[in-house]
Chains A and B, each alone.
Chain A
Amino acid sequence: MRIEAPPRSHAPEAPRRSRWRTVALVVVPLGAFALLLAASLGRDPRALPSELVGDPAPVFALPNLEGGGTVDMADLRGQVVVVNFWASWCLECRDEHPALDAAWDRYRERGVVFVGVLFEDTVGEGLVFADEFETDWPLVHDPGSRTAIAYGVFGVPETFVIAPDGTVAAKRVGPVDYTWLTTEIEGALRAPEPA
């Protein structure tokens, strides 16, 4: 008394094709996900972007740390300028000071100007630091940090090399070393002067 189920008519090659399709459906998304992970896991999550390189450097006219007069970027057009943001409370600024000093000694005769911009610090503390290290390039302070914000400074030290045409040639977040300074300054010196 049983009703026999009629045999189903299935295409014989269907199971094999669908298996390949299943494998592809699993492997392709997984592969894409793995590629995405590989591309992003290798990145340093604390790396900071280097904006402004190749863009015109923000101009500033800031008061000298020792009082009397300003350093005006407009007067420095046509020269290579190294803008170094620093603070007396910043340990890495102490570490990088000898490199800056050596590069300053080497390039000041060739018309390269260094400007140290004090960041989030008092003028008094800045002057103590400058005395201790006998810093002899122009030092300025930045009331309201407007110049630091205009340069997109995250913290100190940060250093910008500005080409004679007024564009930012290089930027370094963190302490500079002598090799980086000489390489970037030489590069900026070779850049064509503004018309």
Chain B
Amino acid sequence: MSGRTRLWLLLAAAAAVVALAAVLTPGGGDARTADDRVRDIASGLRCPVCQNLSVADSPSALAREMRSEIAARLRAGDTPDEVRDFFVERYGEWVLLAPTREGLNLLPWLVPIAGVLFGLGAWAMLVRRRSSPEAETPTPAERRQIQAELDALEEPG
């Protein structure tokens, strides 16, 4: 079995495993229960009467009532985004456990990337300056000197 055939077999096996996993994984949107959909939204909302608990995890009465509000709105045909907007309108963006990725909120995502790019640029500049090209090609005078010294070395005794 040649190396190339083996490679193709390996790739085919990998593809088969991925396909099998995709088939076995439970559910697209239809298989999810109403409770799952409520939980999805509730776990992204901050419980107003707790410290650092989501509406899904909080045992408080208000969180329970917020979950039934979510369920009622989903039953009424609201999309998950519309339900989230309802809470943001009343409680502000504070209520979202993950801030939206827009405006100033992008700063924590962009600054590290900018920092890495900046560092790479600075490093590249430094490397280029350290190895200036004119130092590598000897002038004709240097060539003559090198040749002369090599000749002197080769001369016996």
A-B contact number at CB 8 A: 62
Per DSSP, are chain B's interface residues mostly helix, strand or loop, or mixed? Answer: helix
Considering the chains assembled together, what is the distance between the CA atoms of A64 and B80 in angstroms? 34
Considering the chains assembled together, what is the distance between the CA atoms of A81 and B146 in angstroms? 98
Q: CB < 8 Å: which of A48, A144, A154 contacts B65?
A: A144
Tell me, yes or no, whether B102 is within 8 Å of chain A by CB: no
CB 8 Å contact bits of B24-55 with A (1 = contact, 0 = none): 00000000000000000000000011000000
Docked-complex contact B90 and A120, CB < 8 angstroms = no
Q: CB < 8 Å: which of B65, B92, B138 contacts A146?
A: B65
Per DSSP, are chain A's interface residues mostly helix, strand or loop, or mixed? Answer: loop
A-chain residues with CB within 8 Å of residue B135 when the two chains form the complex: 6, 8
Q: CB < 8 Å: which of B66, B122, B139, B146 contacts A3?
A: B146
CB 8 Å contact bits of A26-47 with B (1 = contact, 0 = none): 0000000000000000000000
Docked-complex contact B89 and A55, CB < 8 angstroms = yes
A-chain residues with CB within 8 Å of residue B66 when the two chains form the complex: 149
Nearest chain-A residue to B88 (Cβ)? Answer: A51
In the complex, besides A120-B61, A154-B49, 8 extra interface pairs with C-beta distance below 8 angstroms are: A3-B145, A9-B134, A25-B122, A48-B94, A49-B92, A120-B62, A154-B48, A155-B48
- Interface residues of chain B, those whose CB is within 8 Å of chain A, are 48-49, 61-62, 65-66, 68-69, 87, 89-94, 122, 132, 134-135, 138-139, 142, 145-146, 149, 152-153
